[in-house]
Amino acid sequence: MEYHLTMPLKLEDITSLCAGDIVYLTGTILTARDEAHAHILEKTEKSENIPFDLDGAVIYHCGPLMQEKNGKWEVIAAGPTTSARMSKMTPELLEKHNVLALIGKGGMKDVTEALRGKCVYLAFTGGCAALAAENIISVKEVHWPELGMPEAVWVLEVKEFGPLVVGIDANGSDLFSKIDEKAREIYSGLK
């Protein structure tokens, strides 16, 4: 199935999605990579303020290339980064914050149970940095720029952002695990 969803997302928006579905998103997404995840968790642990709203948020595993023009930020490239790097931090992030969707590339390890009933993983094809940038309407805010351009949290307004493939749905179906299992079957049959 194909879905065109508008943020802010609601739980019922994501629980109806199945692994393999195609999704396009319109609204606000946040970029966050390793350092931003660590910063969010550290601030949460210390009960410190986080300057952006994670309630119902969509987090894009992305380290965008930005350019400042006339006092405004423009997106040059915004392709997905490897999501597996955030796998260890994801269960705690989802336990403490109501993030409803994660976007990235390459799948995630050991997060299926943490996503169950509350979040989906949406895969974006690697190498699509220019395509992704075309679907970003504007940069609304930037937080923690001291982490560096790729690690800062960029608040982006997107329109028909995708196509995204539901890689792990909220019901425990993991497309990447299924592909891995099938590949192992085929490979073992070749020996």
72-77 and 65-69 as β-strands: parallel, antiparallel, unpaired? antiparallel
**22-31/153-168 β-pairing:** antiparallel
The DSSP bridge partners found for residue 122 are 103, 166
d(CA 56, CA 65): 25
Q: Classify the phi-psi angles of 32: left when phi > 0, otherwise alpha if psi is within -120 to 50, otherwise beta.
A: beta
**Omega within 30 of 0 (cis) for the link into 8:** yes
Specify the pairing of strand 58-60 against strand 65-69. Answer: unpaired
Q: Catalytic site residues?
A: 37
Long-range CB pairs of 8-13, under 8 A, 24+ apart, other chains included: 8/56, 9/56, 9/58, 9/100, 9/101, 10/56, 10/100, 11/100, 11/118, 13/100
